[in-house]
Structure 1
Amino acid sequence: MTSEGLASELPVLWVVTDQLPFPPRNGITLPLFNYLAGLKSSYSIRLIVLNDIQCNFPPASIEANEELYGPICFLPLTRKSKLTRIISELLSKEMYQHGWKYLPGAAQLPTTPNSILVSPMSAVAKWGSVTNGVFRKSAVHVAAVNDCTAAEYHYRYQSHFGSLKTLFKAVIDYLRSRWIGVIEAKMLQSYDAILLQTARDKELMKELVHPTIAAKVVLAPNGVNHRFRSVSNENGRNIVFVGELSGEYGEIISWLVSEVWPGVVDRCPNSNLRIVGKGASSTLAANIRSTQGVENIEYVEDLSDVYKDAIIAISPVFKGFGLINKTVEAMACGVAVVGGAAAFNGIPGFESNVHGAVCLKKSKDEFVNMITYLIENEDKRKDIGRAGKKLIAGGFNWDTTNKIIQGVLSAGSPA
Structure 2
Amino acid sequence: MKILLISSFLPYPLLSGGNIRLYNILKYLQKNHEVVLVCEKRSYQKEADIKRVEEVCSRVITVPRKKQWSVSNILKTAFSKSPFLLVGHESSEIKKIVSKLLEEEKFDLIHVETFYVMHNLPKTNLPVVLVEHNIEYLIYERFARNAFPILRPFLMIDVAKLKREEEKAWDRASALVAVSKKEKELMGRDNVEVVPNGADVDKFKLKNYKKGLNKKILFIGDFKYIQNQDSARWIIRNIWPLISANNKNVTLWIVGKNAVDRVGSYKREGIVLEDNPTSKTEDIFQQADILLAPIRVGGGTSLKILEAMASGLPVVTTLLGNEGIGAKDSEEIIVAEEPWEFSNKITDILWNEGRIKEIGKNARVFIEKNYKWEKITEKLNDVYERVVK
What TM-score do the two structures reach when normalised by structure 2? 0.82
Q: Counterpart of 1:352? A: 329
Match of 1:189 among 157, 161, 171: 171
Specify every segment of 5 or more residues in structure 2 that has no aligned partner in the other structure, as ranges: none
Shift of 1:229: 5.8
**1:49 lines up with 2:44 in the alignment:** no
**1:340 lines up with 2:318 in the alignment:** yes
Match of 2:360 among 385, 406, 409: 385
Shift of 1:366: 3.6
**1:266 lines up with 2:254 in the alignment:** no
In 1: Cα distance, 2:63 partner to 2:54 partner: 15
Shift of 1:189: 1.8
**1:115 lines up with 2:109 in the alignment:** yes
| One-letter amino acid of the counterpart of residue 136, structure 2 | T
Structure 1 residues 192-236: Cα deviation after superposition (integer angstroms, max 9, x where no partner): 111111111110101xxxxxxx21111111121013664133327
| One-letter amino acid of the counterpart of residue 42, structure 1 | N
In 2: Cα distance, 1:303 partner to 1:43 partner: 30
1:88-127 aligned within 5 A: 88-89=80-81, 94-99=82-87, 100-103=90-93, 107=97, 109=101, 111-124=105-118
Q: Counterpart of 1:82? A: 74
In 2: Cα distance, 1:194 partner to 1:283 partner: 33
Q: Counterpart of 2:60? A: 72
Q: 1:367 to 1:59 in 2, by over 3 A?
A: same
Of the structure 1 ranges 195-204 and 97-106, higher mean CA displacement relative to structure 2 is found in 97-106
In the alignment, is the contact (CA less than 8 A) between 1:151 and 1:204 conserved in 2? Answer: no
In the alignment, is the contact (CA less than 8 A) between 2:197 and 2:302 conserved in 1? Answer: no
In the alignment, is the contact (CA less than 8 A) between 2:26 and 2:56 conserved in 1? Answer: no
Of the structure 1 ranges 174-183 and 327-336, higher mean CA displacement relative to structure 2 is found in 174-183
1:87-236 aligned within 5 A: 87-89=79-81, 94-99=82-87, 100-103=90-93, 107=97, 109=101, 111-124=105-118, 128-131=119-122, 134-135=123-124, 137=125, 139-153=126-140, 165=147, 179-206=161-188, 214-227=189-202, 230-235=205-210
In the alignment, is the contact (CA less than 8 A) between 1:338 and 1:357 conserved in 2? Answer: yes
Structure 1 residues 71-125: Cα deviation after superposition (integer angstroms, max 9, x where no partner): 5323567676434324544xxxx4332122514797553633222211123333x
What secondary structure is seen at the aligned counterpart in 2 of 1:344? helix
Q: 1:51 to 1:112 in 2, by over 3 A?
A: farther
Q: 1:308 to 1:70 in 2, by over 3 A?
A: same
In the alignment, is the contact (CA less than 8 A) between 1:156 and 1:174 conserved in 2? Answer: no
What secondary structure is seen at the aligned counterpart in 1 of 2:342? helix
Q: 1:410 to 1:283 in 2, by over 3 A?
A: closer
Of the structure 1 ranges 98-107 and 226-235, higher mean CA displacement relative to structure 2 is found in 98-107
In 2: Cα distance, 1:232 partner to 1:45 partner: 35
Q: Counterpart of 2:222? A: 244
Match of 1:311 among 286, 289, 294: 289
Q: 1:76 to 1:293 in 2, by over 3 A?
A: closer
Q: 1:41 to 1:187 in 2, by over 3 A?
A: same
Q: 1:392 to 1:77 in 2, by over 3 A?
A: closer
In the alignment, is the contact (CA less than 8 A) between 1:240 and 1:310 conserved in 2? Answer: yes
Shift of 1:287: 5.7
Q: 1:105 to 1:286 in 2, by over 3 A?
A: closer
What secondary structure is seen at the aligned counterpart in 1 of 2:283? helix
What secondary structure is seen at the aligned counterpart in 1 of 2:84? coil
Q: Counterpart of 1:5? A: none
In the alignment, is the contact (CA less than 8 A) between 2:84 and 2:158 conserved in 1? Answer: no
Match of 1:33 among 23, 33, 41: 23
In the alignment, is the contact (CA less than 8 A) between 2:135 and 2:298 conserved in 1? Answer: no
Q: 1:174 to 1:312 in 2, by over 3 A?
A: farther
| One-letter amino acid of the counterpart of residue 27, structure 2 | A
In the alignment, is the contact (CA less than 8 A) between 2:314 and 2:333 conserved in 1? Answer: yes
In 2: Cα distance, 1:24 partner to 1:282 partner: 21
Shift of 1:17: 0.9
In the alignment, is the contact (CA less than 8 A) between 1:77 and 1:103 conserved in 2? Answer: no
Shift of 1:399: 1.5
In 2: Cα distance, 1:245 partner to 1:307 partner: 18
What TM-score do the two structures reach when normalised by structure 1? 0.77
In the alignment, is the contact (CA less than 8 A) between 2:216 and 2:253 conserved in 1? Answer: yes
The alignment covers a number of residue pairs equal to 375
In 2: Cα distance, 1:19 partner to 1:367 partner: 35
Q: 1:408 to 1:246 in 2, by over 3 A?
A: closer
Say what the alpha-carbon RMSD is for the aligned residues. 3.4
What secondary structure is seen at the aligned counterpart in 2 of 1:21? coil
Structure 1 residues 329-372: Cα deviation after superposition (integer angstroms, max 9, x where no partner): 22222222122221112123x343343222223x3x44333322
